Amino acid sequence: MKKRISLLLALVLLLGVFAAPTLMFAEEEPKSLKDVPDWDGTEAEFHIGLVTGTVSQSEDDLRGAEELIRRYGDSKEGGMITHLTYPDNFMSEQETTISQIVGLADDPLMKVIVINQSVPGTAAAFNQIREFRDDILLLAGESHEDPTVITPAADYCVSVDKVGQGYLMPYAAKELGATTFVHVSFPRHLSQEIMAQRHAILAAACEELEIEFSDETAPDPMSDIGIPGAQQFILEHMNAWVDKYGKDTAFFCTNDAETEPMLKKVAELGAFFIEADLPSPLMGYPGAFGIELKDVAGDWPAILQKVEESVVEAGGGEHMGTWAYSFGFTCTAGLGEFGKRVVEGQYEKDPETETFKPEDILACFEEYTPGCKWTGGYFMNTTGDKPEPWKNFYLVSQDLYVFGKGFLGLDQVEVPQKYRELAYEVKTQEELEAEAEAEGN
């Protein structure tokens, strides 16, 4: 009898293993980026140009360039990658940015140019390049310029799904227990079409989800006050804002540099922070909480774990979130990888859309985010009588990871189409500045 029971138990266990392969063996163990070998010194047949911000403005973007250099080598040493950084004060130094980008095309081996973030001047630079080089693939990551400006100039554009963020951030805030959502920005950002669209969706979604929505104005780090002054402003005003709106408030700011002081104060004051404008465990968290990450550089699961430990210890558990992998890092590395594969003949344009396939872009993003799946959708052109997608402008997204809680499952939440097609007004920077001045901000 005992022998029969043992045989039956063994059979049940064996059947269990084969009956649930999707849970146990559907995919191989996700590899770390460190498992990908360094460049072996092979002379590159073509070059890829990368232009990113500096460490102080957008560190993650720059780290993505470093990952590509590690894999494919620096062009100065015979490798594939040429990396430049645009000025921190790119708004007042557009001519420098334009000349840097155009200068890359003087290299006869240059076949791909990636700009991340695509700050003002990118489209002008691309248009100049087109005048004398039609053999270079031009890719724009996280464009600051309106779609009507950047889409005719670039071969392909990729940005965070800010449209989806407009709905999903209030949705997540409500799930976590927030009753108010405060949007912190400044006129230069709000004059950008995609930011204006997200702002309009945030207001509409908050109303539908029964969350109070409010705006606060912060200084532009590109103004005379600079990055330190803008960060100090956030530090000095967060206490007053929490007193004004209450602890059950989710705060969001559109600027990377201002994210760090906001995170610090959110944890200290017990408020909520859903995700950054360009979500990443490196976006503001290490600086805000003094997290040393040199020993886990390039290991995103380990980075997430170390950040989580510090955030929870600081009081931000179940109140603060991020994407498990950095968008800025992935956008630089992923677009560079995509360009490489196009030049090598792995990817071609879809004859129906006359542009590249989104699934090829997502495959390159997943190459640099082991174990992570990306979702996305086309950016909708809502300026005409009927909303139509920009076929070479794709928006991407990940699930939200809440420190001390885990993934929230936002990748399973569908953004209602009415928000993607929502009509909105885009005001000029001058109009917005006048309004802010009239309100005393």
Position 25 confidence tier, pLDDT thresholds 50, 70, 90? very low
- Whether the model clears a pTM of 0.85, i.e. scores above it, the answer is no
Give me the amino acid identity at 11. L
Beta-strand ranges (E) seen in 36-101 are 47-52, 81-85
Instruction: Between 273 and 27, name the one with better pLDDT.
Output: 273
CA distance 425 to 305: 41
Q: Compute the mean pLDDT over every residue in the chain, rounded to the nearest whole number.
A: 89
Distances in Å between the alpha carbon of 399 and those of 251, 301, 307, 367? 19, 14, 17, 17
Q: 96-150 pLDDT, tens per residue?
A: 999 999 999 999 999 999 999 999 999 999 999 999 999 999 999 999 998 999 9
∠ CA 215-323-203, rounded to 5°: 25
Q: 253-267 pLDDT, tens per residue?
A: 999 899 999 999 999
Other beta carbons within 10 Å of 440: 6
CA distance 113 to 54: 17
- pLDDT for 16 beyond 50: no
Other beta carbons within 10 Å of 161: 24
Strands 156-160 and 212-217: unpaired
CA distance 87 to 227: 13
| DSSP secondary structure code for residue 87 in this structure | -
Other beta carbons within 10 Å of 355: 16
Q: 202-229 pLDDT, tens per residue?
A: 999 999 999 999 999 999 998 999 999 9
Give me the amino acid identity at 33. L
Give me the amino acid identity at 392. N
CA distance 431 to 441: 14
Instruction: Between 10 and 414, name the one with better pLDDT.
Output: 414
Helix H or strand E encompassing 136: none
Paired tokens of 151? 């889409």
Give me the amino acid identity at 367. E
- pLDDT for 427 beyond 80: yes
Q: 287-296 pLDDT, tens per residue?
A: 999 999 989 8
Position 441 confidence tier, pLDDT thresholds 50, 70, 90? low
Mean local confidence (pLDDT), 312-330: 95
- pLDDT for 6 beyond 80: no
Three-state secondary-structure class, residue 283:
coil
Task: Provide the pLDDT for residue 31.
Answer: 65
Position 33 confidence tier, pLDDT thresholds 50, 70, 90? confident
Q: 148-188 pLDDT, tens per residue?
A: 999 999 999 999 998 899 999 999 999 999 999 999 999 99
Task: Provide the pLDDT for residue 194.
Answer: 84
Q: What is the layout of strands, in order, in the sheet containing 81-85? A: 81-85, 47-52, 110-118, 137-143, 156-160, 388-397, 375-381
Task: Provide the pLDDT for residue 1.
Answer: 45
Helix H or strand E encompassing 414: none
Mean local confidence (pLDDT), 231-260: 96
Q: What is the layout of strands, in order, in the sheet containing 212-217? A: 212-217, 180-185, 249-253
CA distance 286 to 55: 13
Are the CB atoms for 33 and 368 separated by under 8 Å?
A: yes
| DSSP secondary structure code for residue 298 in this structure | T
Paired tokens of 110? 């240059």
| DSSP secondary structure code for residue 85 in this structure | E
Q: Residue 13 CA to chain centroid, in angstroms?
A: 44
Q: 341-390 pLDDT, tens per residue?
A: 999 999 999 998 899 999 999 999 999 998 888 888 898 887 777 888 89
Which residues have C-beta within 8 Å of that of residue 48, sequence separation ≥ 6?
68, 72, 80, 81, 82, 110, 111, 112, 113, 114, 336, 339, 340
Are the CB atoms for 260 and 250 separated by under 8 Å?
A: no
- pLDDT for 233 beyond 70: yes
Task: Provide the pLDDT for residue 146.
Answer: 87
Scored b (16 or more CB within 10 A) or e, 320-349 reads bbbbbbbbbbbbbbbbbbbbbbbbeeebee
- pLDDT for 408 beyond 50: yes
Please report which residue ranges of 270-357 form alpha helices under DSSP H: 285-289, 300-313, 327-343
